[in-house]
Structure 1
């Protein structure tokens, strides 16, 4: 019955969020409509939704998304090649729970963790 999940994260500035996800991470904007306080971005088979929260203090933002990938090495290298900053504590490494993961922070301090099972 459940088909997918689309996380909603806060953003302080729609243009800055759009530019970061499109230019740095390779997402594209979904749909022909431009909602002033909402943004939907997609890449491959995932969507992330954003809602405007202009007074958000990034140091108090705990927005997090875990994104599974089937080629973490290629994704990690692509981001490094594009000079996308990786979280200082989030370099690509194997984790005790059977995943290889890395993480980064978007302009609003939303944590994006990318992971792939070590046996895939």
Structure 2
């Protein structure tokens, strides 16, 4: 059997959106991302630092409500303070049994965005 020497780059989640402009606005204004591209109303891309998230137009809210992505961050406390100013109902940071401090944000479409920082960092 041949050895596989492929190198992986970064993964880019592609989340469902019921309204691409609204989704991109939320990621821009609330989560500090910047829109990189919007293709009509059918596809969008947002980025913050090295993190990039794409969105595809979907008319089934059930799909978005059962989708999530996980984003590693290096300062969960600062992120919490930043987002809390824009989403006053945002929950507290959760410390998990698997050694992470996590923050959970639901976007307008129902996608769960989980932000996490290793507790030993």
Give the distance between the partners of 2:9 and 2:101, measured in 1 at CA.
25
Report the counterpart of residue 76 of structure 2 in structure 1: 72
Give the distance between the partners of 1:49 and 1:79, measured in 2 at CA.
20
Larger radius of gyration: 2
Whether the 8 Å CA contact 2:72–2:115 is kept in 1: the answer is yes
Whether the 8 Å CA contact 1:24–1:84 is kept in 2: the answer is no
Q: Select the residue among 40, 43, 47 that pairs with 2:45.
A: 40
Report the counterpart of residue 111 of structure 2 in structure 1: 110
Report the counterpart of residue 100 of structure 1 in structure 2: 101
Normalising by the residue count of structure 1, what TM-score does the alignment of the two structures yield?
0.87
- How many residues were matched structurally? 114
Q: Tell me the SS of whatever aligns to 1:4.
A: coil
RMSD: 1.7
Give the distance between the partners of 1:60 and 1:42, measured in 2 at CA.
19
Normalising by the residue count of structure 2, what TM-score does the alignment of the two structures yield?
0.87
Whether the 8 Å CA contact 1:62–1:110 is kept in 2: the answer is yes
How far the C-alpha of 1:82 sits from its partner, in A, is 2.1
